[in-house]
Each structure stands twice: as structure tokens, then as C-alpha cells.
Structure 1
Amino acid sequence: MTDWELGDRSGDVEQTFAALADHVIDGLLARSPETATALGDHRFDDRLADLSEDGVGETLARIDEDLAGVDQIDDLALGQAAAVDLEILRARLAAEKLSLETIRESTWNPLVANPGSALHLLLSRDFAPVEERLESVAGRLGAVPEHLAVARDVLGEMPQVHVETALGQFEGTLGLLRGPLEDALASAPGLRSLVEPVRDAAAGALEAHLGWLRDRLESGVAARDPRLGPEKYAAKLWATLDADLTPDDVLHRAETDLVRIEGEIARAAAEYLGEPAPPPDDAGALVRRALDAVAAEGPVDDTTVLPLCVAALGTTTAFVREHDLVTVHDDAVEIVEMPEIHRGVAVAYCDAPGPLEPRALPTFFAVAPTPTGWDGARVASFYREYNASMLHNLTVHEAMPGHVLQLAHSRRCSTPSRVRTTFMSGTFVEGWAVYAEQLMAERGYDAGHGERGALAIRLQQLKMQLRMTINAILDVRVHTRGMTEDEAMRLMQVRGHQEEGEAAGKWRRALLTSTQLSTYYVGWTAVADLVADLNAANPGWTDRQVHDAVLAHGSPPPRHLRSLLGL
């Protein structure tokens, strides 16, 4: 007899649901050890996921059982918070089933099988003594040869862009075995006899796998279209957003907003340059001149990018406190250079300790300098895009009051089950971070440079609004309407004012990460609308009261947050 059946006999439906949620979550963590480690549950740290057809079949059978259990819960007998958790759990199970049964990414995306992140998670955080973590590393290393053999067995035709990216990231995993792992062994030499044999075997398996991927690339076998197509994309978009929006809805709203933002950035550019607002036909050239002027005032290079982000974290935090925008939690933050295994998709990310992690660990704000091998022109283009003012805006998004602060609030949320502790909505998380950019710019954040600094930040933030709105347009048009690379590059460079290198990277990202690029735009509009409605319902509230209320319920999809806030 299961725990939730026992609970049902007692008549306590909320206890019944909490027991079911625990059962479902434990199953998910067991079958996805890397996810468990990232969340801070370390029971499965010595394992890798089972990508075999039998393993997928067992997982799908378990999901069907779990969905049947969820359907047995009387949602009308639950309190509002528990009812929200029930719906989130149901949607998560449905999304996992869709991923394994319909999208089947492990059969065509070689990035899925890279064990680099699973190893990096054990080496990058001091959640346990190094000896204990190295024992888990040894377990995962020992599983690498079979893991990669299974991957080769299940992988069919692959897209070229995915294979090219996988080659770089698998090389990064080899680098992890030579660098961070060796550093850990130097501090725990007694573990060498355990780790070195499996490390050498894993390195050999990684080299062989890299050779296999190169053969696929050079022989022309890697020719699969990376686009999902209309039906699969629409299904995955629903699973990603957990919002009642079709691809057509997202595209129509984004293309309408793009026109509005173009007008706003043209007016901001004219103000920055001290010129009259131009007619629409001439606005693009004026915006380009203003953005070039901002970039010229704050030169950045590989040696200064991380120190500038460190300084920006200090000034953004001081501004949030001074203007009392939201409660600031003093959780530890470290700004680090992005590991090679994670490069090639985004320029920065926030890596917070898992919500299930019992120890107080720092949050990493990772930034990627330019890759080795780039020529001077490409590096210069990159840092025109990520100039000093843009780095302040990026720090707002990734750290303060964006991801770092939002996730700190989320960790302090009390919920009736582990559902919202375990699962977070990317739509809400990214939506809050983009809203935070807008909030800081509208409140006059100047990076310590006065009125002209505030205008520069505002310009960069509007450019980011253009970018994330275009992200959604790219996402839908690439995967459902056959948008070409030339069309995408023209949209990003002409209407989005992006540097060529940034646009080229985003084109690759659109091919690599279907539906994720839409979370920024959809989340931003949802969070901004929600804040406006909360202000209207509570006209006497301060910024801090409104924003603390928005962040008080974890990281649920925005539609559920509305219910939790009584909107």
C-alpha cells in the first residue's frame, strides 16, 4: 500500500497529495541523477542517467503511474497553494512524457549524453568534504564508457550544429578531467588509487566518442534538420511555458511589441545624442550611432570583463537598497569564469545552489570571455556588444535584482509540498530578470555615472528588450516557418542592432534550444502585467511590498502566481 493511499484513508487530502508529490519527485531524482545533484539532493551523486531504450521505457511506465496517481487527487478538496502545486506536478509529468515519447532528444542531440555537467557539479561546490565528492566522481567516471556506448547506440541522424557544439563541449569535459579534477586530487591524494583508473578509462571513452562524432560530421551523416517543425514545437512550447499561448499568439504579440520598442529606443537614442527625434525611416542609423557612442565610452576586454561585473554587482546592490525596490538577502555570490563545458550557448548564466541543498553555498554568476582562437576583429565586435554599460544591465539580469536575488527569495518560500521547491518555471525566472532590467532603468540606475550613465543604461536595456522580443520571433519562425539564416541575421542586426558575432551566436542558439528563447519575452510580459495588476489592487503599497509579494511564492509559472496572489 502506498503512502498516498494511507493518507487518503485518514481523510487528509493535503497529506495525501504531499505524500504522492514526494513519491513522484523521488522517482524523478533517481532517474535523473544530474538533476538531483543540481537541486542539492546527493543520494544519486555516483550515477549517470540511463539513456537506453529500456531505461526510457521504464521511465515512461513510471510517468503513466504517477499521472494516474495525480488524477486520483481531489483538487477541489485542496487549499489554493496545494492545488497550484498539483497542477504544476501534473504539467511537469506531462512535459517529461512529451520529451521522452515525442521529442526524443537523446536519439538526435549528442549534447544530452555529455557527462561534463554531472562531473562539474561535484567538483565546483563544497557541499561535502572533497574526499566524499571524489568518491561520487569515481562512480560517475566509472559509468562514462557504458554511458557513451549507449549514447552511440541510440543516436541516429544528428543536426550538424548540435554535433559541432558537442565537439567543443566534450573537449571541455576532457579539460575538466585534466584541470579541476586534478586540483581536487591534489587536495585529497589518498583518493588517487580510486579515481585515476576510472578517470583514465573515462578519458579514453571520451576520446573515442569525440572521434565518432568527428566521423559523423566529416562523413556528412550529421544532416538532420535541427528544426522541430510546427506540431512538435507547439507541444514543446506549451510544456516549456505552461501558459495558454500558441506559437501564433507568441509571434503576433512579439512582432507587435517589436515595433513599439523600436520607437522607444529611437527616442532614447536621440536624447542620449542630444538630437531631435528622427523620422521612422532614419531611426535605425541614429540608434546605431548612439549605441556605438555608448560602447566607445566603456571599452572592455578579456582582462577586465570579470572585474567590471564584480564592480557592477556592488553598484546594482547599493542602488536596490537605496531605492528600497525589494528585500535584499545577503547570500554569498561569486563571479567566475564560465567553464568550457558550458560555453557555446550563452555569454553568462546564474548558477545558484539547489533548493534542496542543506548547506549554505554561494551562487555563481558565470561569465564567458571570448574563446581562444578568435581574431581581433571578432573580439572587438564582442565587446562592442558587451560594453561596460551592457555589463551593468547583464549584472542586473543575472544577479541583482535578477536571478541571484529572485532565487534567494525562492529558497525561503514555504509551500505545502516539495513541488515548488523542486520545480521552477523558466518563464517566471527569466521573466522576472527581464522585468528587473526594466525596473532598474526606469528608476534611473546610472552605474555611478550620473544622468548620462542612466541614459546609457536605458539604451542598453531597450536594446535588450529588442533582443529578447526578437528571441521569441526567431524561436517561432525558425522552428515552425522555415526562417533562413540570412533572414534571421538581418532581423537581429538591422532591427535589433546586434553585432555580427552576437547575432551569429543567437542563430546557433535558436537551432540548439527550441522554445527556451521564448521564455524571456513571454515571462517579461507576464511579470510586468502581474506587477501592474498588483499595484492597481494595492495602491498604497511600496515597490518593496509589491516585489516581495511577487517573489514570495517560489518560482511558479506566472499564471499560477496570479492565483496565489489573489489576482
Structure 2
Amino acid sequence: MKKALISLSVAAVLTGLVGCQDPVTSSNASAEAAQNSVSSQQATQLSFADFSQSFIDDLWLLAPTWAMYNGKHINDGYLDVPNQASRDKTLAFVVKQKGLLNTFNQDTLSANELIDYKLLENLVNKFEWEVNTFKSWQWDPSSYNVAGGFAQIINEDFAPLDERLISVIARLESVPAYYQAAKDNINNPTLAHTQLAIQQNRGAFSVLNDDLANKVAQSGLNAEQKAMFTSRFNSAKQAINTYIDWLTVLETDLQANGSRDFRIGEDLYEQKFALDIQAGMTAKQLYDKAVEDKNRVQAEMAKITTDIWAKHIDTAKPADDKLAIRQLIDVLSSKHVKREDFVDDVRKQIPELVKFVNDKQLITLDPKKPLVVRETPEYMRGFAGASISAPGPYEKGSNTYYNVTPLDDMTDESAESYLREYNHWILQVLNIHEAIPGHYTQLVYSNQSPSLVKSLFGNGAMVEGWAVYTERMMLEEGYGNFEPEMWLMYYKWNLRVIANTILDYSIQVKGMGEQDAIALMENEAFQQRAEAEGKWRRATLSQVQLTSYYSGYREIYDFREELKAEKGADFDLKQFHEQFLSYGSAPVKYIRQLMK
């Protein structure tokens, strides 16, 4: 999913840029001053390439932590305190960049430049919308967590350890002010985001722990630096614990007296969908398309079930197709790995996927770009069971991590349900999606794009859509030997992607409750109870992102089929894949324009 689940997504950093208090006159004054400072004469002298680089440079000065996640080390020791001053700077940046964008005649830009223009325009519009309209900095306590930045400095070997530890010491100084600002900002939060904040901030101590203290003690830092670390380290841990305690009291109050609804409603949902997905259709139109696709996929599953029923079940097949599909899936799902082998089994499957892609010549894989399967760090747990953390375009040679959450904390019942969901067949599809040739492969190509704008500010629907597209593509090319059981389970997985869109829209816009949501996932998408409950939780904590899988997949697959029909025997699948990915993580509708 994007770093944030796939790569560090724009949405993941927005709160860090705008997590401040209510608007005051100084915000408007700062923005006005920034606009007045933009000289039209200077702007017209900039080429678009110069402007794009200037935009990125200004953004990294505004948000050095975001730069660090992308491999650009501007000021790693700086931790932005999400207060009013931070809000002022963000709005000033927005107004300045809008003024510069307006000086360009879009008709004179090349196709590649125009796409970059649209991406930058969308980015600043999203910043502004988050500040003035969405205001999640007020109601989402989970957006405040310092662990990620520290983990990036400590775990990534981009500089000598002592140098990185000096940045850690500098960064620690602002942790108490950071969490004080967080408490000042939070107003009428949702219960779900408050509980997530408690869980994930407890996980921060997996980063700020004794191991870090030992690294400092054994380092080459001088006595004064080590003493400063100890003092700031203790203050930072106290600040995190104080925040957790404060949230725990808040949680009790919200449970007793009620809290803000996590649902954002139709107007905000459509606005967020337009900014996040950029799909050329409304959220309602995508929802309607997903409902149609759900019915089509269920029909395909019914055909397969009829064909292989007698192979697996001795009793007569029920007349009700959905009941028959569910019963067959239940029988097949008993084939899965042991809970203690879950992470290791994922690790073992990666070379098999690499070999298949290479043998079939589906896309060029770079053996010099490492993929490391690891247990999901504790501070990242509680949102998704598997994710990719990829390096940015400035550190293309750094590790890409495939985060897989072990099942240690689950009850036996929950673990069995989870393993039945990620059974023998679906676990392979998951690894295609997250790793080869899904997210990992796409993000390697994205980092090679000549356009930094497309690599840095990519479209989440394209990123997720590519991963979903590769699942079907691999099976079409013979992965799994066209085994009907594999296709049945693939359709079940694909139905989950479709159901994600239906579920997210139904919950956030139509007010669907938990029991109806669980019923949709279990009865219509044939999911296990643990998976359905996890998806409900995810849909209460995010908005729109769940639609990105289906939206991007549908656009990519339909475009490929269109080109195949046009080119006939001249169509080259490998060439299509490599050309498609060469444009970075741009919205599919723009890639389509370039390739056409």
C-alpha cells in the first residue's frame, strides 16, 4: 500500500504539514504575503523543469521528514511541531505554488510536463483542502506519532551511525512540544482513531527502546552528546507515555458519552475521492460499476464451483450458487500454512515468483534492487497485515521491505480464521500483489522515472491498481497451471477488491453499520470472519483509499485490452508493462494519453 502502506503517500504526510490549531488571521496574512511575493516576471522566466525542481526543493524545506522518507536528507534532525506556525507555513507554500502554476500556459507544455503540472496542482489543492476543509488534524489522534521518522534514521544505512545518531538527538528535542501540540489540536475525535493512536504510540517504544540507548552508549559520540541523548530520550519517552495516558482517559470519556462519527459523508467523500483517485469519474459512478462487476465475478465463481464440486465434496451441490461457492471455499481453505510458519512461507515464495516472471519474460526485474521480507515493525501494526515500505527515488539502492505481520498476538480461533483467508492459493496471490511483480516491482520502476514529480507524488490508484492487475495477469500467463482451484480463489480475492469499493462507499456515504458490512464481506465476497472484522476496522480508520485498488485495476486492465485489440499480433505484453511503468506513478488516465 503507499510508504504509509506502499510508499509514503501524500495523505500520510498531510497531517504532519497541517496538524495545527484553528485558522487565525495570521494564517491568511501569511498566505497573502506569499502570493504577493510571487513575481510574474520571474515566474515566466522559469522553464517548467526549473519550476518543478524549485517546487520540490521548497517542499523539502517545508517538510524535511517527507524528504527523508524519499531518500533526500535535508535536515534529518528536524521534527516539525504541528502547531499554528506549521499551519501558516503550509498555507503560504500553497499560495506561492498556485501563483507560480498559474503563470504557465498549459497549452504550451509537453504531454509529460502537463501530467506533472496536473500532479503538482492536485497536490497543493489537497494540502489546502486538508487544512481548511477536511481538518483531520482535529479529529484523528493517530496522525500524531514520531516513531516513523526515528525508525527511518536508525534503520536505514544512508550515513555513518554516529552521524545518524546526532540527528536522532536533535530530533528528540522537539518530541515533548510535538505531543503537546497534538493534545492542543485534538477536538472531538473519533473513538476508532483514538484507539488506533493508543495502539500505535505504544508501538513507538519498539523504536525508542533500550537497543537505541545501547547504540548511543557504544557509539563514538562524546560524553556531552551522550548525556544530551539520555536527557532528551527520557523526556521523549515521558511525552509519549503522557500522550498515551491522556488518550486513554479520552477513550473512556468517548465510550461513555459518545464521539464524533468516523463517517465523513457524501460531500467530503466525493471531494476526497477526486483529489486522491483522479479517476475521471465520481465515487458514485465507481460504486455503481463495482456492483455490476460483483455480479459478474460471482457468476464466474458459480461456473467453476459446478465444474469441480464433485472433486472435493461428496454430497450434492446446493441449488443456491452463493451457498455452494461458500461451502467449496470453506473446504479448500483448510489448506494453509501453520501460524508459526506464516512469515517464513511468504519469504520462501518470493524466489518462485521471480523465476516465473523471468521464465515468461513478463517484465525485466533488477536483481540489484533488494527486497527484504520482515516482520511488520510494531509501530506500524494494527492497520494492514501486509505492506511494502519502499525507498524513495533519491535512495534507489536502499532496501525495499515487505512487511508481514506475524500471528503471535491472535487467539487460536482468530489465527485459524486468518490463515483460512490467506490459504494456500490466496497467499500466493497476496505475494504477487505486494511483491513480484506487484508493488515492489512497480515502485522500483517508479524510482527510475526521469520525472521526479511522477515518482515522488504518484497516484495511489495507479500504484494499487497495478498490484491488482498483476494478480490476474500472472494467472492468465499460466501461474498456477490454470488450476481451477487457483482461479476460484483468485476470483474470491478479486471480489474482495470489488467489495472494498462497495464497502467503503456504503459505510462512509450510505451509513452502513458493522453487521451489514460483515454480512456483505462474508456472504457476498466469501471472506472469513477475521478478515471481515479487520476490513471493517480499516474502513472506520480510512476513507476512499479502499477504492483505489478497484479503480486503478479496472482502468489498467481495460486499457491493456484496448491496446491488444488495436495491435493484434503486434501486441507485446512485456513491452506494454515496461512502457506503462516507465511514466512513474502517474494517474492511469494520463499514462493512457502518453501511450496512445
Scaled by the length of structure 1, the TM-score of the pair is 0.92
Could you tell me how far apart the structure 1 residues matched to 2:267 and 2:211 are? 43
- For residues 246-294 of structure 1, the C-alpha deviation after alignment (integer angstroms, 9 at most, x for no partner) is 1210110111111111112222334444469999962223222332333
Measured in 1, the distance between the counterparts of 2:217 and 2:473 equals 46
More moved, 183-192 vs 212-221:
183-192
Give the CA deviation at 1:459: 2.5
User: Hey, what does 1:104 align to over in structure 2?
Assistant: 135
Q: Which consecutive unaligned segments of at least 5 residues does structure 2 have? A: 1-36
Distance between the aligned counterparts of 1:5 and 1:444, measured in 2?
59
Deviations 1:313-360 (A, max 9, x none): 111111111111112222111000001111111111011111122x61
2:473 aligned residue (414, 439, 447) = 439
Superposed CA deviations along residues 373-400 of structure 1, whole A, max 9, x for unmatched, are x321111111111223222111100110
1:558 deviation in Å? Answer: 0.6
2:388 corresponds to: 350
The aligned residue for residue 485 of structure 1 is: 514
Partner of residue 298 from structure 1, selected from 326, 332, 336: 336
**Aligned: 1:19 with 2:55:** no
**CA distance in structure 2 between the partners assigned to 1:197 and 1:270 by the alignment:** 68
1:250 equivalent in alignment to 2:286: yes
Distance 1:281 1:244 in 2: 41
In structure 1, runs of 5+ residues without a counterpart are 10-14
Tell me what 2:350 maps to.
Answer: 313
Q: TM-score, normalised by structure 2?
A: 0.88
> Residues 204, 352 of structure 1: CA spacing in aligned structure 2 closer, same or farther, 3 A cutoff?
same
Distance, in Å, in 1 between the alignment partners of 2:140 and 2:111 is: 39
The one of 167, 183, 191 equivalent to 1:160 is 191
**Which residue in the other structure is 1:132 paired with?**
163
Per-residue deviation at 1:297?
A: 2.4
**Equivalent residue number for residue 558 of structure 2:** 529
Counterpart of 1:207? Answer: 241
Which residues in structure 2 correspond to 1:137-286 (within 5 Å)? 137-178=168-209, 181-182=212-213, 184-185=215-216, 188=219, 190=221, 192-220=226-254, 223-274=259-310, 282-286=320-324
From the superposition, tell whether residues 180 and 402 of structure 1 become closer, same or farther in structure 2 (CA, over 3 Å): farther
Structure 2 equivalent of residue 12 of structure 1: none
Shift of the 189–379 alpha-carbon distance from structure 1 to 2, 3 Å rule, reads farther
In 2, Cα distance between the equivalents of 1:387 and 1:185?
A: 43
Q: 1:486, CA displacement in angstroms?
A: 1.0
Q: 1:208 to 1:439 in 2, by over 3 A?
A: same
Instruction: Work out the percentage of aligned pairs sharing the same amino acid.
Output: 28
Name the CA distance, whole Å, in 2 between partners of 1:424 and 1:535: 26
Whether contact under 8 Å (1:294, 1:389) holds in the other structure is no
The 1:180–1:102 alpha-carbon spacing in structure 2 relative to 1, beyond 3 Å, is farther
Matched, 1:496 2:525: yes
Q: 1:75 aligns with which of 95, 99, 106?
A: 106
Deviation track 1:493-526 (CA, whole Å, cap 9, x = no partner) reads 1111111111111111111110100100101101
The question of whether the paired residues in 1 share the 8 Å contact of 2:421 and 2:527 is answered with yes
Give how far 1:238 is off.
0.5
CA drift of 1:295 comes to: 2.4
Cα distance in 2, alignment partners of residues 349 and 299 from structure 1: 19
Kept after mapping to 2: 8 A contact 1:108/1:157: yes
SS in 2 for 1:219: helix
For residue 391 of structure 1, give the secondary structure of its aligned residue in structure 2.
helix
Of 140, 143, 146 in structure 2, the residue corresponding to residue 115 of structure 1 is: 146
Pair 1:430-2:468 in alignment: no
* Structure-1 separation of matches of 2:317 and 2:276: 39
1:400 match: secondary structure = coil
Q: Deviations over 1:67-99 (max 9, x none)?
A: 121011111111111111111111111111111
Aligned residues: 551
**Partner AA of 1:148 in structure 2:** Y
Instruction: Tell me if the contact between 2:446 and 2:581 (Cα under 8 Å) persists in the aligned partners.
Output: yes
> 1:27 offset after TM fit, Å?
2.6
Distance 1:274 1:324, change over 3 A: farther
What letter corresponds to residue 375 of structure 1 in structure 2?
T
Q: 1:271 to 1:320 in 2, by over 3 A?
A: farther
Change (3 A) 1:391 1:77: same
Equivalent residues of 1:230, 1:479 under 8 A apart: yes
Counterpart of 1:60? 91
CA distance in 2, matches of 1:547, 1:382: 33
2:428 is the alignment partner of 1:398: no
Partner of 2:375: 337
User: 1:8: how far off?
Assistant: 3.2
Q: Tell me which amino acid in the other structure corresponds to 2:412.
A: G
Greater mean alpha carbon deviation, residues 78-87 or residues 186-195? 186-195
Q: Residue 362 of structure 2: SS of its match in structure 1? A: coil
SS at 1:514 equivalent: coil
CA distance, structure 2, for counterparts of residue 33 and residue 505 of structure 1: 33
Other-structure match for 1:554 = 584
Q: Do 2:305 and 2:328's aligned partners in 1 also have CA atoms closer than 8 Å?
A: yes
Asked if structure 2 preserves the Cα contact closer than 8 Å seen for 1:308 and 1:391, the reply is no
SS at match of 2:401: strand
Higher mean C-alpha deviation, range 70-79 or range 483-492: 70-79
| 1:37-52 paired onto structure 2 within 5 Å | 37-52=68-83
Deviation digits for residues 124-143 of structure 1 (CA, Å, limit 9, x no counterpart): 22122221222222222211
The structural deviation recorded for 1:414 is: 1.6
